[in-house]
Structure 1
Amino acid sequence: MRFDVITLFPELFEPFARVGVTRRAFESKAVDVRLWPLRDFAEDTYRRVDDRPFGGGPGMVMLVEPLARALGTIRADQDAAGGPRLPVILFSPAGRPLTQPRVEALAASPGAVLLCGRYEGIDQRFIDAHVDEEISLGDYVLSGGELPALALIDAVTRLQPGVLHDAASHQQDSFSDGLLDCPHYSRPEVLGEALSAQLPGADAAVPPVLMSGHHAQIARWRRQQQLALTWRRRPELIDAARESGRLSKDDEQFLKSLL
């Protein structure tokens, strides 16, 4: 898959492609991230990409012309590569929240053009003409679209075949089945006295069921932990799972016991 990123700060992406489990996908070009510095498409001496807003007010607005040139160059490059014309995604507080189902849909697609806005915003005429989707990471404002773009690329890339050491790993992630993930434990089985003192409020021992070797009981415990954690922290996800038919009779019985 391919991501074309229009950005004023390409240097933010370069270290990201060299670290972590997703690095393999970038090195093999299983996920091809192409950076398009927006100032390269400004034609004046000062390489200006923004100007004051009509109507007054604070901040600057990103100009149509450099954006149009950048997108035109990307389209020509996509056509030369024989690939499809990818949809344009703008990161904006006005966008729909990025969710795991949307990430999974993107992971199964050929990719996208990611438009990283800055300043007060982007000239609405460019948005109306070329943007296919607006995405938000949440109800807060960032300095630009680069961090959301990195988050989206990471979330999509880790779902690509061969990226994670265990292909089933992402299937147990939070939100993969509409619920939060269950707690996880590793060695030591029992914390020493000194370490326990550093972790007040935590049980010293791993839950016995996880040491039992009884796979059905372990699966049941993990499911109940998922339900309990989601019910406490994100009850709206329980409602959504119920509406979509993802809760079994055993799930519903356990939720009643929590009440």
Structure 2
Amino acid sequence: MLLTMGRKIRKQIKGDRKMWQAQILTLYPEMFPGPLGFSLAGKALENKLWAMDVMQIRDHALDKHRNVDDTPSGGGPGMVMRADVIGRAIDAAQDKRPEGVTDDDWPLIYLSPRGKRLDQKMVHEFADKKGITLICGRFEGLDERVLEKRNIREISLGDFVLSGGEIAALMLMDAVVRLIPGVIGEPDTLLEESFSSGLLEYPQYTRPQIWEGLEIPDVLMSGHHENIRKWRLEASEKLTKERRPDLWKEYSHQKNARAQKKSDD
């Protein structure tokens, strides 16, 4: 995975494709675009580098009260979002996708604490798609049958619980949108970010040179590009080894594999 990440980033930086789109199914449409209406993502949205279609789940309710939930089968606290309502909302969203788009081109995602944890590899995967549909759950979640029947992919942001999927959806979209060509003014910065090389990013500094007795490392002021590159790599490796042993293990494995291949050649 780490060996191909840089190639993937370069492909996305240079890519020329149709506008990436996100569909959001939610009970709270007013939460969007929220923070995505500002800064880089907001400018990109205004400039039509990507698009957002927010859909109210209640519009697909089956009764005049627009109910979307019911009590859990077998008892228990809270309410469960109904499969028939969510199913109708999903079908309506999929009918709005561009002609010829397949499920593989346009994944259907439910933000859920029990899902597979989102990582940068997954973000790049979603950025390569034509679009995504995000289901923002509430209450005790979705009826399991709709997850099975509609082939929904469950994604989690981590081992914690939010009040609903809207904040998670915003975070996922922000991670994806910044990879879209034209969104980042200096796209080469994507190559050096945390996780892009399999390592956490090295420490960053800027003026003043001395602040509260702390100085910028001399090597960064030297103008010697190769020494700066080596310092940054060593700093990234040190941080990753200390803070993310899981990433360090994978990185070390790939690094050793490259060294072995080079010696064999």
> Please, which of 130, 137, 140 is the counterpart of residue 117 of structure 1?
137
Stretch moving more, 10-19 or 96-105? 10-19
Q: Secondary structure at the match of 2:252?
A: helix
CA distance in 2, matches of 1:159, 1:247: 28
Q: Secondary structure at the match of 1:227?
A: helix
Q: Secondary structure at the match of 2:246?
A: helix
CA distance in 1, matches of 2:100, 2:255: 38
Deviations 1:95-134 (A, max 9, x none): 1110001101111111211111111110111000113311
CA distance in 1, matches of 2:88, 2:152: 18
**1:29, CA displacement in angstroms?**
2.5
Aligned to 2:69: 50
**1:63, CA displacement in angstroms?**
0.6
Query: Does structure 2 conserve the Cα–Cα contact (< 8 Å) formed by 1:42 and 1:66?
Result: yes
Query: Does structure 1 conserve the Cα–Cα contact (< 8 Å) formed by 2:24 and 2:53?
Result: yes
Aligned to 2:189: 169
Aligned to 2:119: 99
Structure 1 segments, 4+ long, off by >3 Å, are 245-249
> What TM-score do the two structures reach when normalised by structure 1?
0.87
Aligned to 1:206: 216
> Please, which of 215, 221, 224 is the counterpart of residue 231 of structure 2?
221
Determine if the alignment matches structure 1 residue 76 to structure 2 residue 95: yes
**1:244, CA displacement in angstroms?**
2.8
CA distance in 1, matches of 2:216, 2:42: 33
**1:248, CA displacement in angstroms?**
6.8
**1:25, CA displacement in angstroms?**
2.1
Determine if the alignment matches structure 1 residue 63 to structure 2 residue 82: yes
Query: Does structure 2 conserve the Cα–Cα contact (< 8 Å) formed by 1:179 and 1:237?
Result: yes
> What TM-score do the two structures reach when normalised by structure 2?
0.85
Aligned to 2:172: 152
CA distance in 2, matches of 1:247, 1:214: 29
Query: Does structure 2 conserve the Cα–Cα contact (< 8 Å) formed by 1:87 and 1:131?
Result: no
Aligned to 2:37: 18
Structure 2, unmatched stretches of 5+, are 1-19, 260-265
Residues 236/40 of structure 1: CA separation in 2 closer, same or farther (3 Å cut): same
Query: Does structure 1 conserve the Cα–Cα contact (< 8 Å) formed by 2:194 and 2:200?
Result: yes
CA distance in 1, matches of 2:91, 2:242: 49
Q: Percent identity?
A: 41
**1:245, CA displacement in angstroms?**
3.4
> Please, which of 4, 16, 25 is the counterpart of residue 6 of structure 1?
25
Query: Does structure 2 conserve the Cα–Cα contact (< 8 Å) formed by 1:93 and 1:136?
Result: yes
Amino acid across the alignment from 1:108: D
Amino acid across the alignment from 1:170: L
> Please, which of 248, 252, 261 is the counterpart of residue 238 of structure 1?
248
Q: Secondary structure at the match of 1:245?
A: helix
Deviations 1:114-166 (A, max 9, x none): 11111111011100011331111111111111111111100000011111110
CA distance in 1, matches of 2:254, 2:65: 54
Determine if the alignment matches structure 1 residue 38 to structure 2 residue 57: yes
What's the Cα RMSD here? 1.6
CA distance in 2, matches of 1:121, 1:15: 23
Residues 2/183 of structure 1: CA separation in 2 closer, same or farther (3 Å cut): same
Alignment of 1:136-147 (within 5 A): 136-147=156-167
Query: Does structure 2 conserve the Cα–Cα contact (< 8 Å) formed by 1:103 and 1:156?
Result: yes
**1:4, CA displacement in angstroms?**
0.9
Deviations 1:69-103 (A, max 9, x none): 2112112211xx32514221111122111000110
**1:31, CA displacement in angstroms?**
1.5
Structure 1, unmatched stretches of 5+, are 197-202, 250-259
